[in-house]
Structure 1
Amino acid sequence: MDDIKLSQCFITVDDADAALGFYRDALGLEVRNDVGYEGMRWVTLGSPAQPEVAVVLETPLPDPGASETDRQAVKDLLAKGLLRGVIFSTEDVDATFERVRAAGGEVLQEPVDQHYGVRDCAFRDPAGNMIRFAQPKA
């Protein structure tokens, strides 16, 4: 059987600099790569605890072949918070919640024990994406 592992996940953002302020400064992820190429920007971040997994910030439909209608549709979905969400795990969801809230994160859900076995909370990043933090219940 192949050894399949997660390598990268993509989060669509409309402003890479604002997103960096959230993912780097509020969440504490490290910037691994920040490269511009042909009008696009590739920003890769990750947790020091998981060097093999990268979070890539991408602008809506960087493909130059995308129509303006498609670009606008993606921008509309992003503005509504309907694109990708990410769930991070943490050993102390309450401490993570307080740190992200103190850094100005937009709170969607304060920490709560869920019936499916985790304690979690949720924020919105500057682009409108829902970002959750979960800790297994003891």
Structure 2
Amino acid sequence: MNFASVRIITDNVEGLIAFYEHVLGVTAERPAPVFAEFVLPSCTLAIGHTQTTTLFGVDAENVAEAMNHPVILEFHVADIEAEYVRLKTYIHDWVQQPTTMPWGNRSMLFRDPDGNMVNFFQPITKEAIQRLNDRH
């Protein structure tokens, strides 16, 4: 089994597409007006309008409940400091500027326009680099 994608459900499809195109540096694929995908080498980030959930048999009331559950989207980057410089004036909701974490990653966190947490990280210790390399 392979992990295929994460899908953000939103009423702000166009806003999130513009945000993630800028942040990820990838143009969204748009197979339908209510759906977009950012195809990355490791996974796909999908954006779907809340109305798409009815196709899965989920009513609007259950979507609102599910949207209250926290998630952090995490992206491994080659140079955390360069990413910070690139994004520091674009991001309006910083949670944490680049900080070295106890497990050996240098990490920065911010929120997308819907309030979802996004973490860019770079392993910097020998152990953290090895842990990431062991997964590939």
Fold equivalence (TM over 0.5):
yes
Please tell me the root mean square deviation across aligned C-alpha atoms, in Å: 2.1
Q: Does 1:62 align with 2:52?
A: yes
- The one-letter amino acid of 1:12's match is I
| 2:91–2:110 CA contact under 8 A, matched in 1 | no
Query: Map of 1:1-138 to 2, 5 A cutoff?
Result: 4-36=1-33, 41-47=34-40, 50=41, 53-60=43-50, 62-64=52-54, 65-75=57-67, 77=68, 82-138=69-125
- When normalised by structure 1's length, the TM-score is 0.76
The Cα offsets for residues 50-86 of structure 1, whole Å up to 9 and x where unpaired, read as 1x631101234733243343233245x1xxxx43321
| 2:74–2:119 CA contact under 8 A, matched in 1 | yes
The Cα offsets for residues 79-133 of structure 1, whole Å up to 9 and x where unpaired, read as xxx4332100001111112212222342110000111010000010001100000
CA distance in 1, matches of 2:106, 2:51: 34
CA distance in 2, matches of 1:67, 1:114: 40
- Contiguous gaps of at least 5 residues in structure 2: 126-136
Q: Classify 1:97/1:13 alpha carbon distance in 2 versus 1 (closer, same or farther; 3 Å).
A: farther
| 2:104–2:124 CA contact under 8 A, matched in 1 | yes
Q: Classify 1:55/1:46 alpha carbon distance in 2 versus 1 (closer, same or farther; 3 Å).
A: same
- Contiguous gaps of at least 5 residues in structure 1: none
Percent of aligned pairs with the same amino acid: 20
Deviating more after overlay: 112-121 vs 62-71: 62-71
